[in-house]
Homo-oligomer: A and B are copies of this chain.
């Protein structure tokens, strides 16, 4: 371990992968906590555009931001320092990038590495910690979980998911109130496409909109359940016979029984290219062609993961607390770990911060358990509802100015470079 008595080391913080409504709340937790422990830790440098900022020595000096602006991160969506979709190469095959990281860290007296991302990012954090040990560079590597997909292992849930879950459940409920009003003479079918290419957590969250039998959503299409067209169409018809309308939430990752994505198989543009569609319009169109009902469809796309205006209070608090915990863990000398959410009780909901080893987190996906999906494959179980319910609790409204959320844009002042050499990624 490095000696914090002699010299206050700086911290590097980076955001990685798809951004969320509460990723900046974690950043806020990291920076505010580091400022609180300024006797033990130096400045927090953020990577501009995530890990790329470390590789290219493009660091942001967060100490240039006012306390007020850092506090505003707690209610600002997106990634305030820029994120990236960039996976470091394998450590054994290509150590050059890891060596470069340590070179940059050494040049800027960085002794703490906070990496805020999903499964790939936790894998990267793990590799960086290995590299630090191998090269005898003292570095506390701490991952901070983040993913709307809710698919990290060893944590009860992932920051970012709760707010998407709340947004899609609200949207589903609201659209249901619209469709039922119009069903007599107009639209009878509404299809809502949501994210979650590999796992059905977000699709499942749409199911929270249903309070009682017959309420929207009537059908959920999970990526875990192969799409059975005939069974699905029969269900739609039965739903309309019973309720006069049918609302459907479908995962972007819905697959045919042969494993191909439904989104890839339905649509070509006039030039013959596939990929235009989105599974939402494909499902809607299928219903129109086979059953003849009038339909509407919506694709929320980025709106769902950026919807800070209706973020879950639980989610915001957890995101912040995980950022805070990451700094504390590092200061306590924990390396190669990730703080987690541990659920203590459902009613009333209680949780606490736990710790997992990065080695155990890396590159694992936590799938939606089969017993969270009802036997017919079209709705969620009570067990699933009990799990999801606390995660959407509370409305963490941002402040407004001129009728719109008053989100912060940071100055993002660059740290002067110290290395003579550049680096091409």
Decide yes or no: A273 and B285 within 8 Å by CB, A395-B397, A403-B208, A404-B208 being known contacts: yes
Q: Which of B21, B271, B280, B289 contacts A273 (CB 8 A)?
A: B289
Report the nearest B residue to A400, measured CB to CB: B395
* In the complex, A134 has a CB within 8 A of chain B: no
User: Which chain B residues lie closer than 8 Å to A180 at the CB level?
Assistant: 78, 82
A366 to B89 alpha-carbon distance, docked (Å): 58
Q: List, in ascending order, chain B residues with CB within 8 A of A309's CB.
A: 170, 174, 310
Give chain B nearest CB distance to A242 CB in angstroms. 16
CA separation between A168 and B85, bound complex, in Å?
27
Q: Are A19 and B182 in contact (CB under 8 A)?
A: yes
Partner of A177, one of B171, B190, B407: B407
Check: A251 CB closer than 8 A to any chain B CB. no
CB distance from A423 to the nearest CB of B (A): 15
- In angstroms, Cα B192 to Cα A21, docked, is 18
Give the nearest-CB partner of A401 in chain B.
Answer: B211
Minimum distance in angstroms from A372 CB to a CB of chain B: 18
Q: Is the CB of B177 within 8 A of A78?
A: yes
Q: How many copies does the complex hold?
A: 2
Chain B nearest CB, measured from A206 CB (Å): 11
Q: A78-B180, A181-B83, A403-B208 are in contact. Are A271 and B299 (CB under 8 A)?
A: no
Tell me which residues across on chain B come within 8 A of A299, comparing CB atoms: 280, 297-299
Residue of B nearest to A15 (CB): B181
A residues adjacent to B (C-beta < 8 A): 15, 18-19, 21, 49, 52, 76-80, 82-86, 166, 169-171, 173-175, 177-186, 190, 192, 208-209, 265-271, 273, 275-278, 280-282, 285, 289, 296-303, 305-310, 312, 389, 392-395, 397, 400, 402-405, 407
* Cross-chain pairs A/B with CB under 8 angstroms, 10 sampled: A174-B302, A174-B306, A174-B405, A192-B303, A269-B282, A273-B285, A278-B281, A297-B299, A299-B299, A389-B403
